[in-house]
Amino acid sequence: MTIFTKIINREIQADIVYEDEQCLAFRDVNPQAPVHVLLIPKKPVKSLDELTESDRALCGHLMLTVPKVAGLLGLSGGYRTVINTGAHGGQSVFHLHIHILGARDLTWPPG
């Protein structure tokens, strides 16, 4: 069980900014921008590499939820989304999550 599963189950507190039947968004405890939120599916999927054809609707739901969450957070000037995959890709919690970062100019390339 990951820390994100514990947040979904309310075993660990988090600053939740959005929730629906399929996903949850909460503020990152180590923010890399003034706004840094993680959007996670409630279904325990380890990473992008673990998705299957049966997850097609979930993926679409997550992608359509990103701009909804960004709007709730006032990121009308733009934002960045990041999905780290695997240890070499910078993934530290092995539960699929989308970083939503904004409220400052974001440079390229990242990291």
- Residues designated as active site: 97
Residues with Cβ < 8 Å from 85, sequence gap 6 or more? 47, 48, 49, 91
Q: Report d(CA 99, CA 90) in Å as an integer.
A: 12
Residues with Cβ < 8 Å from 87, sequence gap 6 or more? none
